[in-house]
Chain A
Amino acid sequence: MNGLAPRPLTRWIIGIVVGFLFALPLVSTLLFTLKDGDGYSLVHWTSLFDPAKAAVFAPIWVGLGNSLILAVVTVAIVLFLLAPTMLLIALRFPSFRRPFEFLVLLPITIPAIVLVVGLAPIYQQIGRTLGTGAWTLAFAYGITVLPFAYRSIQASIDAIDVRTLSEAARSLGADWFTVVTRVLAPNLRPGLLAASLISVAVVLGEFTIASILNRQVLQTGLVVVNKIDAYASAMFTLMALAFAFLLLLIIGRAGRPSAGKKNS
């Protein structure tokens, strides 16, 4: 390991230079939100709770509410549609694994802006049958999170022996529902948790599909408010980035031990 690793000085120089350049936009945004005339104060942050400014922030709150609903429905799609299908393939159709992997990784290749061209007519139909509720967008988001969610869940499936576990449970008299919910799901918890959290992060950060389809989500709300009150969008930007960072940090902590176990 020592033969490959850079010298501490090299490591520090790279870390400080790149770290500084990457911190600059975030620090600038933070200082921007603290600006008060020529000095600095928390006046913009306290204005978040000012009823007089509530109308300005309204698009963000509406968008955030919609995004949270979408996050819940998208996580439901991941947990109740993707995960069971992956288990079924692992248990019954192992030969489908490669084609299935190719399929769920496809959304990485197809740009969202291309997908949305084809989604527009589909959502016109959905608008007629299911209504224009915010939650319907989750069908599209479920597709965009597929590659991320798949990788997290598959790592957990690979780390345990689903076949032996389910056969053991079956031979002890458990029905399939019990096998999935009480034997497999608890063992796959790190992967399911990571898949759920990353789905939340993707949904909260999604802009392309929502904006082209004229839906109100957090990111489109930020763009609307940015034109009226740039401080508000800057503050919410910082909070949203910090929240996504926190989610990924939890995923890193939750996902690591199982991956480590597999390797050692």
Chain B
Amino acid sequence: MTSPDLVAGPDLDRVTSPAVPEPTAPARRGAVRVGWAWLGLVPFTAYVLLFLALPTVLAVGSGLFDDDGAFTLANVAALGDPVILTTFWNSAWLSLLTALIGAIVGAIVCYALLGLPETGAVRTMVDAASGVLAQFGGVMLAFAFIATIGLQGLVTTFLMDGFGIDIFANGPWIYELPGLILPYIYFQVPLMIITFMPALSALKPQWAEANLTLGGTSSGFWQHVGIPVLAPSFFASLLLLFANAFSSYATAAALASQGSQIVPLQIRTALTSETLLGRENLAGALAFGMIVVVAIVMWAYSFIQRRASRWQA
């Protein structure tokens, strides 16, 4: 397609204006450029292969292959171990619970932000704060919660001194699984604000106006238009929140310095002590299990998101 043009171009030009040599030069350069352009993609491709594709294959592969390189399901069978099943179950309900609460609270905050100018002070501040808490909190959120509801935390002592309520009457649960719930909600709500706000902003004010003009009520609008239109986005965000909590490691690692109640912590234990449960490559098997769960959730996410995007043109 292009090569006849490249050949024809200079010939035509030579006929019309033979004194000008330029036309040949860009044409030849153009031909060379396509060759160079391919090379330009090589460094990035090599980088992604080496630091994204290879680690993923190694992580999942170490769960599926034994030390001699032969395919085996022995490691994956470890996922059926009651201890491992419990950690997956813990991860699942912790992620689901915090995703549900985070999604509902986040959606309410998005509703409160609706109608505020996107470049205004409030939106800019909320966006920046959400970004920090949702994506960069990690370990630091654990410290903040120890200062709040830790054994000597501000809220703990306030409840104790003010009302005589000992929130740790049943033991120091903050360093165990239930202690993760509040910090997780603390980063799930901001993530919901980031992911759900665009969908809510895309609701067309004209729809509300049309509803009012036709004699509809505000609650009727939400019931018949707003919520049905937003439902796919809401569930997509919910899935994203689930995947986010499921793969989160830093906050849990800093809070629960011992034990391995959830899958990411189990991977830490498996990586640091080689013979957990008498199995090798357990970290790989766990990584494989995690990737399967997250991949299913993210596939469902993109499927729903595609449906949701119909309303966000």
Question: B78 an interface residue at 8 Å Cβ cutoff?
Answer: no
Residues of A contacting B291 with CB < 8 Å? 110-111, 114
For residue B226, which residues in chain A have a CB less than 8 angstroms away from its CB?
4
Is A188 part of the binding interface, using a Cβ–Cβ cutoff of 8 Å?
no
A106 to B137, CA, bound (A): 21
Interface residues of A in 124-139 (CB under 8 A from B): 139
* Chain B residues, CB < 8 A from A201: 131-132, 135-136
Q: List B contacts of A223 (CB < 8 A).
A: 139, 253-254
| B84 at the binding interface (Cβ < 8 Å) | no
Do the beta carbons of B56 and A118 come within 8 Å of each other? Answer: yes
Q: Which of A117, A234, A251 contacts B283 (CB 8 A)?
A: A117
B143–A122 touching, CB < 8 Å: no
- Tell me whether B41 is interfacial, beta carbon within 8 Å: yes
A27 to B158, CA, bound (A): 14
B172 at the interface (CB under 8 A from A): no
Instruction: Determine whether B92 belongs to the interface, using a CB cutoff of 8 Å to chain A.
Output: no
Instruction: Indicate if the CB atoms of B208 and A122 lie closer than 8 Å.
Output: no
**CA A32 – CA B150 in complex, angstroms?**
11
CB pair B114 A5 closer than 8 Å: yes
Number of interface residues of B (CB under 8 A): 84
Complex formed: what's the CA distance from A172 to B128 in Å? 42
Task: Give the residue of A14, A148, A234, A241 whose beta carbon is less than 8 angstroms from that of B147.
Answer: A234
Residues of A within 8 A of B56 (CB): 110, 114-115, 118
Tell me how far the C-beta of B259 lies from the nearest C-beta in chain A, rounded to whole angstroms: 16
Please tell me if A28 contacts chain B, counting CB pairs below 8 Å. Answer: yes
* Residues of the A chain whose Cβ atoms lie less than 8 Å from the Cβ of B41: 85, 88-89, 93
Checking B51, B112, B267 against A140 with a beta-carbon cut-off of 8 angstroms, the contacting residue is B51
Q: List 13 A-B contacts (CB under 8 A).
A: A2-B115, A3-B211, A4-B115, A4-B226, A28-B154, A29-B143, A92-B37, A113-B264, A114-B291, A139-B47, A201-B131, A223-B254, A252-B124
| A159 in contact (CB, < 8 A) | no
Segment at the A interface, from B2-10, B64-72, B103-111, B162-170? B103-111
**Given the complex, which residues of A lie within 8 Å of B298, measured CB to CB?**
108-109
Q: Please tell me if the beta carbons of A1 and B115 are within 8 angstroms of each other in the complex.
A: yes
| Among candidates B205, B218, B250, B295, residue contacting A109 with C-beta atoms closer than 8 Å | B295
Chain A 129-157 near chain B by CB (<8 Å), digits 1 or 0? 00000000001101100101000000000
How long is the Cα–Cα vector from A108 to B297 in the complex, in angstroms?
12
A-chain residues with CB within 8 Å of residue B54 when the two chains form the complex: 118, 122
Give a binary string over B245-275; 1 marks a CB under 8 Å from any A CB, 0 the rest. 0110110011000000000100110010000
A219 vs chain B, min Cβ distance (A) = 5
Interface flag for A24 (CB, 8 Å): yes
> In the complex, A113→B208 CA distance in Å?
45
CA distance A249 to B121 in the complex (A): 10
* B75 contacts chain A at the CB level, 8 A cutoff: no
- Which one, A15, A118, A219, contacts B139 given CB within 8 A? A219
Bound-state CA distance A222–B144 (Å) is: 12
Chain B CB count within 10 A is highest, among A88, A104, A139, A148, for A88
A219:B114 contact, CB within 8 angstroms = no
Q: Does B179 belong to the interface (CB within 8 Å)?
A: no
Q: B136 contacts A118, CB within 8 Å?
A: no
Query: Which residues of B in the span 120-149 have a Cβ within 8 Å of any Cβ on A?
Result: 124-125, 127-129, 131-133, 135-141, 143-148
Q: Could you tell me how many residues of chain A have their Cβ less than 8 Å away from some Cβ of chain B? A: 82
Could you tell me the dominant secondary structure of chain B's interface residues? helix
Whether the pair A92, B140 counts as a contact (CB closer than 8 A) is: no
CA distance A167 to B52 in the complex (A): 34
Chain B min CB distance to A103 (Å): 6
Chain B residues lying within 8 Å of A139, measured Cβ to Cβ, are: 47, 50-51
**A143–B48 touching, CB < 8 Å:** yes
Q: How far is the CA of A253 from the CA of B119 in the complex (A)?
A: 8
Residue numbers in A under 8 Å from B131 (CB-CB) = 201, 244, 248
Which of B55, B114, B267 touches A6 (beta carbons < 8 Å)?
B114
**B96 in the interface, Cβ–Cβ < 8 Å?**
no
Q: Chain B contacts of A60 at CB under 8 A? A: none
Identify the 5 closest CB pairs spanning chains A and B, nearest first: A5-B115, A3-B208, A111-B247, A118-B55, A205-B136
Residues of B within 8 A of A110 (CB): 52, 56, 291, 294
CB-CB under 8 A from A88, the residues of chain B are 37, 40-41
Q: A228-244 toward B: CB 8 Å interface, digit per residue (1/0)?
A: 00100110010011001
Cβ contacts under 8 Å, B27 to chain A: none
Residues of B within 8 A of A28 (CB): 144, 147-148, 153-155
List B190-210 residues whose CB lies under 8 Å from chain A. Answer: 203, 205, 208-209
Asked if B277 is at the interface of the complex by the 8 Å CB criterion, the answer is: no
For B222, give the chain A residue with the smallest CB separation.
A4
A65 on the interface (CB 8 Å rule)?
A: no
A31 interface residue per 8 A CB criterion: yes
B132 lies within 8 A of A245 (CB): yes
Closest to A240 in B: B140
- Of all chain B residues, which has the CB nearest A245? B132
* A81 CB contacts on chain B under 8 angstroms: 43-44, 47
Q: Give CA–CA (A109, B215) in the complex, Å.
A: 45
| Other-chain contact of A113, B205, B212, B290 (Cβ < 8 Å) | B290
